Chains A and B, each alone.
Chain A
Amino acid sequence: MHNGTIQATEIWKRFRADSRATYLQDEISRVVNRIKGKSSNGWRWVLQDIEIYSEPGSSLGLVGANGSGKSTLLKILTQVMYPTAGRVNVAGRVGSLIELRAGMHPNLTGRENIYLTGSLMGLKRRRVAERFDKIVAFAELESAIDRQVKYYSSGMQMRLGFGVAAFLEPDVLLVDEVLAVGDAVFQQRCLDRMRDVLNQGTTLTLVSHDLAAVEATCREGIWLHDGEIREQGPIRDVLGAYRRWVEADAETAQHVAGRIEVRAEAAPADGGVIRTHETLELTLRVTSSTEYDAWFYLGVSEGTASPVFVINRFARLARGETELRCSVANLPVPQGRYYLWLAADVRGEAGPEGEELLAWQPVCEFDVFGPELDWPPRAVVRLAPVCVNASWSVEHG
C-alpha cells in the first residue's frame, strides 16, 4: 500500500453502555452480577460495518449528527482506539487533531511540545527542526513559543495543535472539528493549509459540522448516522442527503405552535416545475383568532435554519383567514431541494423585536430544477448557493 492510503473494512465498535470512569467497585459488582447469572446487556454499538477506502491525496468529509460515531471512527483510523471487529490499515505517518488542545503537555513550552509531538509521530529531531519555524509562524506564537502551554489561551493552543499536525509532513491528516474554535482568520488559514497539504499529496479526513467548509475542502463524503453509513459518495450528494435529513428531522421536531396558523405552498408561476431564474409563487394561508399588524419573514434554506435569503413584509391580519401571496421573480438558487422557513411577529409596543406570533420554522419544501452551481476553488467556503447569470469572454493576446 502506498503511504497515505486509508483502508478500513467491516469496522464495528461497541462501548459499554455505562461508559464512564470505572472503579474497583464497578468491576466487582459486574463480576458479582455475572456469577449471579444476571445478564447485563451493557453494550451498545457505536459503529456498525463501516467501510472506508481513501487513496493517497484524496479528501474525505465525515458529517453526521452528534453522537453518530464520527469521532470514534476518527480515533480508530488514528489507531489510538481498537475496533471491536474489522481491519484498519493506514499507511504512513498520521497527523491528527482529534481533541481540542490534545496532546499538548501543559507544563512544557510550546517549543518542547512541538518536538515531543514530532517524535510521537516518528520524526527525527532534525526533521522537526527544519519545520519548526514554519509551525511557529503559522501558529503566530513567535513571542510565546518558550512559554509553558498552560499559560496559552485556548486559541493559541488550538493554533499550535493544528500547526504541529499539519506541518510535520503527515501522509494522512485527520482533523476533528478544529474550525469550530478558531476565529474567522484562523479558520481560513486552516482551510488554506489543508488545501496545501492536499496538493502535496496528503490524504485528508475532516470531521466538521460546518457543512460549507466540508464541501469546500473535501471531494468525497460519508454521512454517518447512529454508527452506520447512511450515504457515501461525492461530497455534494452526501451533504444534500444529510441536509434533507436534518430538515426532515427539524420538521418533525421543531414544529412549534404559534398564535397563528400558517399553511404554505410553493409553486411555479406557470404550472410545471420550479426553475432557476424563473418566478416562484409563494402562498401563505394564515388563520388567526385576533386581528394583528404582523410582520412576516420568509426564508429559503438548503435544509438548516440558516437561510440563503430572507424577504419580509408587513401585513394586516383579519380575524379568520388571510391569504398572502409573494412572487419571487428570477429565483436565484441552483438545482436542489429547498425549504421555506417562516416566522411572524408584531412590532411596536413589545420592543423592536416585537411579540412573536410564529417561531422560525420550516413550513414547506420544494425542488428547484436548473443548472448546477459552479465549483469554487478548493478550500474556499461558499456561504450560500446563489446562481447568477454570467457571460464570459476569453481573448488570447
Chain B
Amino acid sequence: MLDGLDDAATPAAVRPATPARERAAEPRPEIRFRRRIGLRTALEDAWRSRELVLTLAERDLRVRYRQALLGFAWALFTPVMLMLVFTFVFAKFAQIKTPGVPYPLFAYVGLLPWTLFSASVSAGGMSLVANLSILNRVYCPREVFPIATIVVAAVDTAISLFVLAILFVVTGFTPKLETLYAPLFLPALLAFTLGITLAISALLVYLRDLRHALPLLIQFGLFATPVAYGISVFVKSTKQLLVYSAVNPLAPVIDGLRRTVLLGQNPEWDALAVGTASAFVVLSLGYWLFKRLETGIADIA
C-alpha cells in the first residue's frame, strides 16, 4: 500500500542519485514495538512517581478550592445533599425501615464509600483527557493522573468524616466497637475504584462521546448499589449475596460498614472475601486495559 507513495511525493530530479540503502515498505516484524507490563516494574514506576501524584493531587485541590468561595465545604456538599434527599425520598415516602438506626446515619455511612467511588470515576475518568497538554509534553507514568484524582477524592471523603461525627452527636448514636473492622473494607473499595477509574480514563480518550454517558452510568451505579437502601433489597439468600458481591464489590463494603459501625455485628466474611477478590480482578483488568490503551494516547490527542 505504500508503493508509489514515495515517488508521488517527491520530484525525481531532487532525489539522491543512489539511495544509501534499499528501504523496506514496512519495518521488520521483530523490531515491532510491543508493550510489556511486568507487575514489578509497573509498581516500581508508580512508587517512584509518588511525589508527582501528590503534586498533581495538590494541584487539583488548589484549583478547585481557589475557584470555589465555599472552599472545603464543597467536599461535604455532595454526600450531605444526597443524604438529605435520600432521607426525604426513601425514609419518608418509600418508608424504608432501618431498625435501630436513624435513617440519615444509615444513608450517610453508605454514601461515604459511594462518594469516594463516584467522585473518583467521574473526575478520574476525565483526568487523561483534561491533562492531554501535559501528557503530550513530558513522559511520566500515565496512571499518576487517575491515581491523583483518587487521592483528591480520598481527601474529600476524609473531610466528610467530620459530618459523620456531627451526625453521631446530633442523633445521640454511638458507633459500635466493631468499627475497628472498618479498615478491612478499604482494600476492596480502593482496588475496585482504581480499576474502574483506570479503565474509564483510558477509554474516554479514545471514545470521546462516551463522556456524555458517564454521569448516567454513575447514576445507574448508585441505584445498583445498596446506598439508599439495605443490601436485602437485592439478595434473599447467601448464594445470591456472594454472586452480588462478586458483581458489585461496593455492596459488601457498604453493607459491611453498616453492620460493623452501626449495628455492632461482624462483617459477612464470605461476601467480603468474594468482593475483595473480585475488586482485585477488576483492578488487574483495568490496569491491563489502561496500559494497553496508554501507548496510543499521544497518537490521537
Tell me if A245 is interfacial: C-beta within 8 Å of chain B: yes
Query: Is A5 in the interface zone, CB < 8 Å from B?
Result: no
Do A87 and B31 form a contact, CB below 8 Å, given A24-B210, A107-B66? yes
B207 contacts which of A24, A98, A226 (Cβ < 8 Å)? A24
Contact of A78 among B27, B31, B137 (CB under 8 A): B137
A41 x B1 contact (CB < 8 A): yes
Residue A228 at the chain B interface, CB threshold 8 Å: yes
Q: Does B277 contact A (CB under 8 A)?
A: no
Residue ID in chain B nearest A49 by CB atoms: B23
A120 interface residue (CB < 8 Å to B)? yes
* Residues of B contacting A122 in the complex (Cβ-Cβ under 8 angstroms): 52
A12 in the interface, Cβ–Cβ < 8 Å?
yes
Report the bound CA distance from A335 to B182 in whole Å.
81
- The answer to whether the Cβ of B78 comes within 8 Å of any Cβ in the partner chain is no
Could you mark each residue 216-253 of chain B with 1 if its beta carbon is under 8 Å from any beta carbon of chain A, else 0?
A: 00000000000000000000000000000000000000
Q: Could you tell me which residues of chain A, from 74 to 121, have a CB within 8 Å of some CB in chain B?
A: 75, 78-87, 94, 96, 98-99, 101-105, 107-108, 112, 115-117, 119-121
Given A78-B139, A82-B33, A82-B295 in contact, is the A116-B55 Cβ separation under 8 Å?
yes
Question: Which B residue's beta carbon lies closest to that of A82?
Answer: B295
Q: Is the CB of A24 within 8 A of B209?
A: yes
Type the 1/0 row for A120-142, where 1 means its CB is closer than 8 Å to any CB of B. 11101000000000000000000
Stretch in B7-15, B79-87, B192-200 with 4+ CB within 8 Å of A: B7-15
Question: With A80-B298, A108-B59 in contact, do A103 and B138 touch (Cβ < 8 Å)?
Answer: yes
CB–CB A107/B136 < 8 A: no
- Interface flags, B4-36, vs A, CB<8A=1, else 0: 011001110110100000011011100111010
A225 at the interface (CB under 8 A from B): yes
In the complex the two chains form, is A108's CB within 8 Å of B134's CB? no
Residues of the B chain whose Cβ atoms lie less than 8 Å from the Cβ of A107 = 63, 66-67
Chain A residues with Cβ under 8 A from B55's Cβ? 115-116, 119
Contacting residues, chain B, for A98 (C-beta < 8 A): 136-137
Q: Is the CB of A22 within 8 A of B300?
A: yes
Q: Which of A25, A45, A102 contacts B137 (CB 8 A)?
A: A102
Which B residues lie within 8 Å of A86 (CB)?
Answer: 27, 31, 33
Contact A84 B59 (CB under 8 A): no
A27 adjacent to chain B (CB < 8 Å): yes
A99 touches B136 (CB 8 A): yes
Q: B50 to chain A: closest CB distance in Å?
A: 10
Contacts A48-B23, A84-B33; A23 near B51 (Cβ below 8 A)? no
Instruction: List chain B residues, Cβ under 8 A from A78.
Output: 137-139
Task: Name B59's contact: one of A101, A103, A105 (CB within 8 Å).
Answer: A105
Query: Are B300 and A10 within 8 A (Cβ)?
Result: no
Judged by a CB distance under 8 angstroms, whether B62 is at the interface is: yes
| A248 in contact (CB, < 8 A) | yes
Q: Within the assembled complex, what's the spacing in Å between the Cα atoms of A151 and B207?
A: 31
Question: Do A226 and B10 touch (CB < 8 A)?
Answer: yes
B44 to chain A, nearest CB (A): 14
Contact A120 B138 (CB under 8 A): yes
B63 in contact with A108 (CB, 8 Å): yes
Asked if B135 is an interface residue, CB under 8 A from chain A, the answer is: yes
Interface flags for A36-50 (1: CB within 8 Å of B; 0: not) read 000001011100110
Expressed in whole angstroms, the Cα–Cα distance for A230 and B138 within the complex equals: 28
Main SS at interface, chain A: mixed
The reply to whether B207 and A27 form a contact with Cβ atoms under 8 Å apart is yes
Residues 243-301 (chain B) with a chain A CB within 8 angstroms:
295-296, 298-300
Given contacts A23-B208, A99-B136, contact A248 B31 (CB under 8 A): no
Identify which of residues 105-162 in chain B touch chain A, using a CB-to-CB cut-off of 8 Å.
133-140
Which residue of B1, B33, B52, B136 is within 8 Å of A80 (Cβ)? B136
Establish whether residues B10 and A225, one from each chain, have CB atoms under 8 Å apart when the complex forms: yes
Q: Which residue of A lies closest to B296 (CB)?
A: A82
Does A21 lie at the interface of the complex (its beta carbon under 8 Å from any beta carbon of B)? yes
Interface string of A151-187 (1 = CB under 8 A from B): 0000000000000000000000000000000000000
| Contact indicator B208/A80 (Cβ below 8 Å) | no
Given contacts A82-B295, A249-B11, A252-B11, contact A22 B23 (CB under 8 A): no
Say how far A98's CB is from chain B's closest CB, in angstroms: 6
Q: Is A117 in contact with B138, judged by CB distance below 8 angstroms?
A: yes
Contact B28 A228 (CB under 8 A): no
Question: Which residues of the other chain, A, contact B2 by a CB distance below 8 angstroms?
Answer: 45
Decide if B52 touches A79 in the complex (CB within 8 Å).
no
Q: Is A19 an interface residue (CB 8 A)?
A: yes
B51 touches A124 (CB 8 A): yes
CB distance from A27 to the nearest CB of B (A): 7
Question: Is A83 within 8 A of B33, CB to CB?
Answer: yes
User: B72 at the A/B interface (Cβ < 8 Å)?
Assistant: no
From 48 to 71 in chain B, residues with beta carbon under 8 angstroms from any chain A beta carbon are: 51-52, 55-56, 59, 62-63, 66-67
Check A15 for interface membership: any CB of B closer than 8 A: yes
* Residues A1-36 near B (CB distance < 8 A): 10, 12, 15-16, 19-25, 27
- A99 x B137 contact (CB < 8 A): yes
User: Which residues does chain A contribute within 8 Å of B88, judged by CB atoms?
Assistant: none
Counting CB contacts under 8 A, is B206 at the interface? yes
B136 touches A84 (CB 8 A): no
Docked complex Cα distance between A83 and B209 (Å): 27
- Chain A residues with CB under 8 Å of B59's CB are 105, 108, 112, 116
- B138 proximity list for chain A (CB < 8 A): 78, 80, 94, 96, 103, 117, 120-121
Is A244 among interface residues, defined by CB-CB distance under 8 A? yes
**Chain A: CB-nearest residue to B21:** A49
B33, A102: Cβ atoms under 8 Å?
no
Which A residues are in CB contact (< 8 Å) with B16? 230
Tell me the smallest distance from the CB of A230 to a CB of chain B, in Å.
8
Pairwise interchain contact B137-A103, C-beta atoms closer than 8 A: yes
B28–A10 CB distance below 8 A: yes
Once bound together, how far apart are the Cα atoms of A16 and B33, in whole Å? Answer: 17
CB-defined contacts of A44 to chain B, threshold 8 Å: 5
Besides A16-B299, A78-B139, A117-B138, 6 other CB < 8 A contacts?
A96-B137, A102-B133, A108-B59, A108-B63, A116-B56, A225-B10
Could you jot down 7 A-B contacts, CB within 8 Å? A24-B209, A79-B139, A102-B134, A102-B137, A108-B62, A119-B52, A119-B55
B contact residues vs A (CB 8 Å cutoff):
1-2, 5-6, 9-11, 13-14, 16, 23-24, 26-28, 31-33, 35, 51-52, 55-56, 59, 62-63, 66-67, 133-140, 206-210, 295-296, 298-300
